Copies of this chain bind each other. A is one copy, B any other.
Amino acid sequence: MVRWEPDSRGRLEQAALALFGERGFDNTTVADIAARAGLTERTFFRYFTDKREVLFSGAGQLQELLVSAVVNAPDSAAPIDAVAAAIEAAGAVLQERRDYARQRQSVIAANTELRERELIKLATLASALADALRRRGAPGPAATLTAEAGIAVFKVAFERWVTESNQRDLPWLMRDSLTELKAVTAGG
């Protein structure tokens, strides 16, 4: 018999983030996380393959969101506008989880292996965006450059959002950082 646990996944995520913040990622075990959440290790492994996955299980959803925004942009939209719509849509979703995102970011910043994993996640998102742009008919190098530019904007806007003391929201920072990218590439 499996006892029904309301929002076990959410409780495990919260417990993991709290412990990673208190003790560091390396010094936290799955047993610790399960105990903090008041659940069993067995329940943990129903949701996550390991403790790292707690921090990266959202990557698939983020990718789907970005790709579907590119796919659903009007045919007339230039690739950069399709990508702008995608990162703004992602920004709106992340905005709803600001505290979580900040906590997660500070855990990742403190650990080399996690920073590397985060870079790989972003590179994977850039590839997925480039594929989506190619399916819209953008030629290979242009699709890759547009996607990489979009992810660079995403990264910079996200860093500003989690570190800046001002209260700008993430979709605004995405737009502002894209404007900045246009200015710097133009040589301004």
Interface flag for A15 (CB, 8 Å): no
Contacts of A64 in B (CB 8 A): none
Does any Cβ of B come within 8 Å of A58's Cβ?
no
Q: Which of A165-188 contact B (CB under 8 A)?
A: 177, 180-188
- Categorize the interface residue count of chain A: 20 to 34
Q: Does A145 contact B (CB under 8 A)?
A: yes
The segment out of A31-39, A66-74, A90-98, A151-159 that lies at the interface is A151-159
CB <8 Å contact, A148 and B156: yes
Q: How far is the CA of A144 from the CA of B160 in the complex (A)?
A: 11
Give the number of copies in the complex: 2
> In the complex, are the beta carbons of A78 and B180 less than 8 A apart?
no
Give the distance in Å from the alpha carbon of A146 to the alpha carbon of B180 in the complex. 9
Q: Which residues of B contact A78 (CB under 8 A)?
A: 184, 187-188
Question: Chain A interface (Cβ within 8 Å of chain B)?
Answer: 78-81, 116, 119-120, 123, 141-142, 144-146, 148-149, 152-153, 155-156, 159-160, 177, 180-188
13 additional A-B pairs beyond A78-B187, A144-B152, beta carbons within 8 Å, are: A79-B184, A80-B185, A116-B120, A141-B160, A142-B180, A144-B159, A145-B177, A146-B184, A148-B148, A148-B156, A181-B185, A182-B185, A186-B186
